[in-house]
Amino acid sequence: MLHMSRLPLRPTLVAVLQALVAGARHGFDVITATGLPSGTVYPALARLEHEGFVESRWEDHKVAQKEKRPPRRYYEVTTAGEKILATAAAALKERERAARARLRAFRPARAKA
C-alpha cells in the first residue's frame, strides 16, 4: 500500500498518461486534451518515455511534408504505463476519500429544531 503523502506519479504525469490512454497521439493532442503548456507536456512525455511508461515513434517525414508541417512524434502507453496509471488513479481516489472523511469530521453537528 502506498503512503498517503507519496503518489507513484506527479499529477501532471498522470494527466499526460490519461490523455494518451483517452486517444491523444502526439504532443499537441496532449496539450489540447490537458490544457497544460508545451513547456510542461514535452518534458513530461520525455520523462514518461525515459521511465518506460510510453514509447514514441516519428512519423514518416513525407507525410509531414505533404501536409506542410513539421513531423509529429507519436506516443503510445506501454503496459508498464497502464499499470502505473492504474496505481496512481487508485492512490488519488484514496487520497480524495481520506480528505472527504477528514472534512466530515470537522463539520459541526446540525442543531435539531
pLDDT digits (tens, 9 = 90+) for 20-41: 999 999 999 999 999 999 999 9
Q: State mean pLDDT over 36-51.
A: 96
Residue type at position 103: L
Instruction: Note the CATH number of domain 11-106.
Output: 1.10.10.10
Q: State mean pLDDT over 61-77.
A: 95
- Predicted confidence at residue 4, as pLDDT, reads 38
Q: State mean pLDDT over 59-71.
A: 94
- Contact, 31 vs 38, CB < 8 A? yes
Task: Give the predicted TM-score (pTM) of the model.
Answer: 0.79
